[in-house]
Amino acid sequence: MSQIGKFEDIEAWQKARELSKAIYDVTGEGAFARDFGLRDQIRRSAISVMSNIAEGFDRGGNKELIQFLYIAKGSIAELRAQLYIALDAGYLKQEEFQNLYDLAASTGRLLGGFIRYLRSCNPKPETRNRNANV
């Protein structure tokens, strides 16, 4: 695995960003946009994925990063559950649901793979540049 200098280099973060954009797109239209509770909750779940990856990365150690990656995985599960609610409420068509669900599942798999990689590494692998002024 190549060196990761900033959280934006993490493939799971990039996929989570794509997921967040897709969630914002579908929740900004029609009846979904007017269901403030579900709209805001599903957006918070998507935001949480990106945010926890970023926060964990800048905490400085693999142990904390792994902890935050698990929190991000939890947010992915929460988002997937909320997609079912949106589908059942008629806010999403089956195809939209499936596309978003697949994107969320893919993000979760990337997180799982990254966690497995970090757990297999030396406690202080060269995955980050701690001296970066970001």
32: CATH: 1.20.1440.60
Total tally of structural domains belonging to the chain = 1
Residue 26 lies in a domain: yes
- pTM for the whole thing? 0.86
In a domain, 48, yes or no: yes
pLDDT (tens place) for every residue of the chain, 134 residues total: 468 889 999 999 999 999 999 999 999 999 999 999 999 999 999 999 999 999 999 997 899 999 999 999 999 999 999 999 999 999 999 999 999 999 999 999 999 999 999 999 855 444 444 544 44
Is 130 inside any structural domain? no
Q: Does residue 49 lie in a domain region?
A: yes
pLDDT at 134: 42
The full 3-state SS of 50-96, as one line of letters, equals HHHHHHHHCCCCHHHHHHHHHHHHHHHHHHHHHHHHHHHCCCCCHHH
Q: Quick check: 67 and 56 in contact, CB under 8 A? A: yes
Please tell me the distance from the alpha carbon of residue 75 to that of residue 115, in angstroms, as a whole number: 15
pLDDT score of 2: 62
- For residue 38, is it within any domain? yes
